[in-house]
Amino acid sequence: MTIRRLLIANRGEIAVRIIRTARELGIETVAVYSEADHQALHVREADRAVCLGAPPASQSYLNTRALLDAIADSEADALHPGYGFLSEDADFAQKVIDAGCIWVGPPPSAMRAMASKAAAKQTLEPRGVPMIPGYHGDDQSDKTLIAKAQSIGFPLLVKASAGGGGKGMRVVHGNDDLPDAISAARREAKNAFGDDRLLLERYLVKPRHVEVQVIADQHGTVEHLFERDCSLQRRHQKVVEEAPAPEMPQATRKAMWDAAVTAAESIGYVGAGTVEFILDASGDFFFLEMNTRLQVEHPVTECITGLDLVAWQLRVAAGEPLALDKPEQPKGHAFEVRLYAEDPDQQFRPTTGHLKDVLWPEGVGIRVDAGVDANTEVSPFYDPMLAKLIVHGDTREEALARLNRALADVRLAGLATNLYFLRRLCRADDLATFKVHTHWIEDHAELWHGGQESPACWAALTASVAQQDRTRDDRDPWRRFTGWRRFQQRRWLYSLSEAEACIVTEHQGHWQARCGNQSLSVYDVSWTEFHHGRGRLTARHDNDRVKLDAWVTDTGIELDDGRARQALTWWRAEQAHEEQASDGRVTALMPGTVTALHVEAGKRVEKGDKILSMEAMKMETTLTAPVSGTLAQSSLQVGDRVQDGQVLFVIEAEDEA
């Protein structure tokens, strides 16, 4: 068989990844897309593209009829399902095969054998694959489940037989919680997978998640490609993956490889697959599940073997025998992290919006598998993964250092992502010394948040410094702001709403910002513009040198301080110029209330003396004399309301001699 034209039934980074390997092999590619993805990167990368339908996955990427029509219309020889969506749907795989198209994956019979965790365990346990003590029988009555749970012991894991990703899963610590946990897991499993069958397992405290990559051809040959450690997870979703697995005795490693090969052989597996195990503190390992598809984290295996797994998927699907140039031992060490459009400050809630700017790191040992680029619209319809960052080094220490440098070079502007969480996570001492387990992230919630103190002040101050630099250009849009007032000090006002504002002042190189009850003072400030709107602020704060990357627009700013994303949006921005008005008048930048009169009318004042304080938008502002002279008579009293643009006081300047 020869594959001349390949349809990729997926989207995002995996579709782009498959397209690029197919191109290297001289295979023409067909992308599919929803109406929401018509300008997506994978659509632009492919040789041709077919629209499947409306944005919801059920009407596009999960629409089997539309996909089968796309195969026929494009005359594709083969279909690669990627991962997720229909990649583990045995019925769909059979329909593709029945349509005369090559399915780049295992036979439907193997997929069905592993689709149910309970059935998989029943199949593999007689072959000697180690299993966690538990129950995965056909009797699903509450009475039986409760009796089996008591014989297994607590803590206990109740989980869906048909699913994964943490859905339909409950940890139970005692008899009293068991009935409710069974009911809740059943409901969730039914809603998520259409199958409410459950299995019970002994719950391992602080276990590791280790998996073995296997690949098999159509001629009965099965090989392992070493293992990966995926212990750093959040809500049962992998966050950091590495290969090979550190801190494992060679005997355990080899036994795990053999068990994975046995699992694949026992079901007549073909193609790339992953056998997942759980490893307890004593070093014993147990079968978890088999993923009958390419895994998200396959690049770390490619790094330590030098193999292109997608290329071998295509060769095996075309009937070629395995002829792997596999090293006897892993070559070096590799890490992968997943970049998601999600907000750690909001319990990792998925985010949507427009990616204004995207910069990926480059260099030896650095690889980025991305599904987005600048100006991509991130929609709410699909998995929020944006890209994967992969690094490789001769040693684990070298690879981890390279990972941290690469993460520091990533720039993503426009919406909240988990980038800053990953930066903090990958600098953790416990990762360097490998003292992590599957619950480690939940146990270290302090890593979820970070960033500068007074973030709104930093954002407003950076916008002001950037504005000052940019207004040297008469074409700059900041010059379009109207209603600018004249003061001795430079002053910027950012109205965040009708009740909130940030005020920034600069005088002789010293900058101050106030936003509500936040305040900030810095000096030795500079702004370097890389291209319009994107640049870097450097400043001295409390004797520390601070560097902030920023993206500035007419209506907002986004900051990257290396630890967190800070964003500020305003509906009005005004600047007061440095030059002094000739008549000595000082006017209000915004409506407010007079809170203090520091000098009586008729008194002589020096330039810079405090004259009047007013409160506006929950902040008190003190205004000073712009020149030396005499304070003229004013009718203002403490408590008076003043309007935007109203004259507050006048300094009658001294006549020049």
Q: For 256, left (φ over 0), alpha (ψ -120 to 50), or beta? A: alpha
Q: Any idea which residue has 């346990």 for tokens?
A: 125
**Residues of the chain above pLDDT 70, percent:** 92
pLDDT digits (tens, 9 = 90+) for 126-165: 999 999 888 988 999 999 999 999 999 999 999 998 876 6
* CATH classification for the domain delimited by 581-653, as one of 3.40.630.30, 2.40.50.100, 2.40.160.20, 1.10.40.60: 2.40.50.100
419-426 helix and 396-409 helix, angle to the nearest 10 degrees: 150
User: Is residue 424 annotated as part of the catalytic site, yes or no?
Assistant: no
Domain 5-104 annotated CATH 3.40.640.10: no
Q: Of 263, 260, 351, 245, nearest to 304 (Cα)? A: 245
| Secondary structure, 3-state, 244-269 | CCCCCCHHHHHHHHHHHHHHHHHCCC
Which residue ranges make up each domain of the chain? Answer: 5-104, 133-202, 206-331, 333-444, 455-575, 581-653
Q: Of 471, 509, 475, 515, nearest to 493 (Cα)? A: 515
- pTM, full prediction: 0.79
The confidence band for 478, taking pLDDT boundaries of 50, 70 and 90, is very low
The confidence band for 299, taking pLDDT boundaries of 50, 70 and 90, is very high
The residues that bridge with 613 in the sheet, in sequence order, are 596, 622
When comparing pLDDT for 623 and 655, which is higher? 623
Inter-CA distances, 231 with 235, 338, 552, Å: 12, 14, 38
pLDDT digits (tens, 9 = 90+) for 208-267: 999 999 999 999 999 999 999 999 999 888 999 999 999 999 999 999 999 999 999 999
Which of 438-447, 548-557, 579-588 shows the lowest mean pLDDT across its residues? Answer: 579-588
The confidence band for 533, taking pLDDT boundaries of 50, 70 and 90, is confident
pLDDT digits (tens, 9 = 90+) for 539-551: 999 888 999 989 8
pLDDT for res 576: 56
pLDDT at residue 9 greater than cutoff 80: yes
The confidence band for 566, taking pLDDT boundaries of 50, 70 and 90, is confident
Strands (E) across 394-465 are located at 411-413
When comparing pLDDT for 9 and 573, which is higher? 9
Mean pLDDT on 353-374: 94
* CATH classification for the domain delimited by 133-202, as one of 3.40.630.30, 3.40.30.10, 3.30.1490.20, 3.40.50.720: 3.30.1490.20
Q: Identify the active-site residue in 197, 234, 293, 402.
A: 293
pLDDT at residue 40 greater than cutoff 90: yes
**Residues of the chain above pLDDT 90, percent:** 64
- Phi and psi of 155, rounded to 5°? -70, 155
Tell me the two tokens of residue 22.
Answer: 């197919």
| Whether the domain at 206-331 and the domain at 333-444 fall into the same CATH topology | yes
Decide: 591 and 646 in contact? Cβ < 8 Å: no
In the CATH scheme, what is the homologous superfamily, with its name and number, of domain 333-444? ATP-grasp fold, B domain (3.30.470.20)
Burial class (CB in 10 A: 0-12, 13-18, 19+), 630: middle
| 3-class SS of residue 220 | coil
- At the top level of CATH, which class does the domain 455-575 belong to? alpha beta
In the CATH scheme, what is the homologous superfamily, with its name and number, of domain 206-331? ATP-grasp fold, B domain (3.30.470.20)
